[in-house]
Amino acid sequence: MQKWYKLDNAAKIFPAVTNKNRPYMFRVSVVLKEKIDKDTLQAALNAIIERFTSFNVRLKKGFFWHYLETNPKKPLVFLEDSYVNKAINKKETNDFLFRTLYYENKISVEFFHSITDGKGALTFLNALVYEYLILKGEIIDPEHKIWTKDIEVRYDETVDQYVKNYNKKDLKKAKEDKAYHIKADIYKDNYQAIIHGYLKLDELRKVAQNYGVTLTEYLSGVLVYANYQYLKGKDFKKTFRLILPVNMRQFISTKTLRNFVLYMRINYDFNQELSLEEIFSITKNGFKEELVKDKLLSTLASNVKFEKNIINRSVPLFIKTFFMKLVFNFVGEALNSFAFSNLGLVDLPKDMESYIDRYQFIIGTSTDCPKAMSAISFNNTLTINFVSLMIDNDIEKHFFNTLRKDGLNVEIETNELEVSI
């Protein structure tokens, strides 16, 4: 039976503004300890796709909004190439808004942001890997940590939590000024350089604790300090602003697989002399001020207000699309200088852990923000992931050098066009 779903509030903008230069894709990957068998991976994908109803969809145009409907086709598995998070080619993917990739020991899934966020993507990837291992003959107790194909679909999985938690009384959001943007030469044909850095999680926690900050605050601070070192000596007429997605499931209990993130921003004045410790202080205060449920809900209310407006609701899609593109091309990601997303610690059943080496998580870039960083942890390994349209990788060098100065051992891995770090 064919079903249809409204796009969630965060998803509505993406179909209007996406193109090959800003595809709004992201990737989650898992590296196993044995080479991937393509046929078994395809069988696993076929087995679970109908369980994940909000991913088993294609994008359609309605009169007022885009919407999602059940896709009668089957998703395909592809051999990974050197291009990361490239725009969805619907003909290639059988109209699905994600693509499943394999390469040697690695399984990756790349998602168009209109169907899910990092948490939803990780849930799907873990279910896929579980089914893959089962089909390989392994015996695994899911321990209620894996959304296996026989678990009944819950209504809450597809609920738009932005609209559900909207309260117009929460509207208090203040206007923000435009942020500084890094300008540099970029790769041709939307190629993106990837650098993975692997660290011991327990060692990283100890270093962060010594500075009196959390792990995410530490990584955020070192990232900002790397940008500060790279940009030092420039005249800044605009603020350097770090943007971090916040998983709202930590504040509001829900099983939704759809988008449910909001964003916090921290400002830094690069016109003044800043030490690493001073940047940590600014970062810690920024988290204290911004990572607050009521403040985030005011952002949610502001975002949903546009959708709720009766005039906006009654305007045909082609007019909405025209104005969304116009506004986005003018504003774009003008509020952000650099993005960092920490997906956190992956929690797997004990029986699965022995088959898995590590995870990776790669977020999107754009011409306004040509470089981004993300992190994900499994067991005692934290993976730092840099993705870059920029050819220059001095920011990454500054970042990893700071970690080494703090006594941390970092194992570096790059993709084929990237120079050494």
Instruction: State whether 146 and 181 are in the same domain.
Output: no
CATH code of 90's domain? 3.30.559.10
Q: Mind listing the pLDDT tens digit for each residue in 34-76? A: 999 999 999 999 999 999 999 999 999 999 999 999 999 999 9
For range 110-132, the mean pLDDT: 99
Q: What is the pLDDT of residue 117?
A: 99
Cα–Cα distance list, 234 to 216, 239, 255, 272, 388 (Å): 27, 12, 46, 11, 21
d(CA 244, CA 266): 9
Largest CA distance in the chain: 62
CA-based end-to-end distance of the chain: 52
Instruction: State whether 249 and 329 are in the same domain.
Output: yes
Instruction: Say if strands 381-388 and 193-200 run parallel, antiparallel, or are unpaired.
Output: antiparallel
Instruction: State whether 130 and 199 are in the same domain.
Output: no
Instruction: State whether 32 and 95 are in the same domain.
Output: yes
Confidence band, pLDDT 50/70/90 cuts, at residue 1 = low
Range of the domain at 146: 4-153
Instruction: State whether 147 and 200 are in the same domain.
Output: no
Instruction: State whether 143 and 213 are in the same domain.
Output: no
* Final residue in a domain of this structure, among 153, 187, 214: 153
Beta-ladder partners of 127: none
Confidence band, pLDDT 50/70/90 cuts, at residue 328 = confident
Instruction: State whether 292 and 356 are in the same domain.
Output: yes
- 176-190, 329-343, 354-368: lowest mean pLDDT where? 329-343
Which has the closest alpha carbon to 129: 40, 259, 57? Answer: 40
3-state SS assignment for residue 271: coil
Cα–Cα distance list, 79 to 99, 102, 156, 334 (Å): 10, 5, 34, 35
Q: For the chain, what is the mean pLDDT? A: 95
Token digits of residue 14: 């993406």
Domain tally, the chain? 2
Contacts for 386 with CB less than 8 Å, ≥ 6 apart: 193, 194, 195, 196, 197, 371, 372, 373, 393, 395, 396, 399
Instruction: State whether 194 and 144 are in the same domain.
Output: no
Q: What is the pLDDT of residue 230?
A: 97
**Is the Cβ–Cβ distance between 18 and 66 less than 8 Å?**
no
d(CA 71, CA 55): 9
Instruction: State whether 211 and 344 are in the same domain.
Output: yes
* Final residue in a domain of this structure, among 99, 122, 153: 153
Instruction: State whether 127 and 208 are in the same domain.
Output: no
CA gyration radius for the chain? 21
Q: How many residues does the chain have?
A: 421
CATH code of 294's domain? 3.30.559.30
Sign of CA dihedral 318, 324, 327, 330: negative
Token digits of residue 163: 């609209």
User: Half-sphere exposure of residue 421, counting CA atoms within 13 Å on the CB side?
Assistant: 29
Instruction: State whether 147 and 180 are in the same domain.
Output: no
d(CA 413, CA 421): 9
Q: Mind listing the pLDDT tens digit for each residue in 366-420? A: 888 999 999 999 999 999 999 999 999 999 999 999 999 999 999 999 986 555 5
Instruction: State whether 144 and 231 are in the same domain.
Output: no
For residue 159, tell me if it sits in a domain.
no
For residue 160, tell me if it sits in a domain.
no
Q: Mind listing the pLDDT tens digit for each residue in 146-166? A: 999 999 999 999 999 999 999
d(CA 246, CA 244): 6
Q: What is the pLDDT of residue 209?
A: 99
Cα–Cα distance list, 238 to 183, 220, 335, 396 (Å): 14, 19, 10, 22
- pTM of this structure: 0.96
Beta-ladder partners of 193: 388
The answer, yes or no, to whether residue 331 has pLDDT greater than 80, is no
Confidence band, pLDDT 50/70/90 cuts, at residue 324 = confident
* Final residue in a domain of this structure, among 113, 138, 153: 153
Confidence band, pLDDT 50/70/90 cuts, at residue 298 = very high
**Is the Cβ–Cβ distance between 386 and 198 less than 8 Å?**
no
For range 8-21, the mean pLDDT: 92
- 83-87, 192-196, 279-283, 332-336: lowest mean pLDDT where? 332-336
Which has the closest alpha carbon to 364: 17, 30, 76? Answer: 17
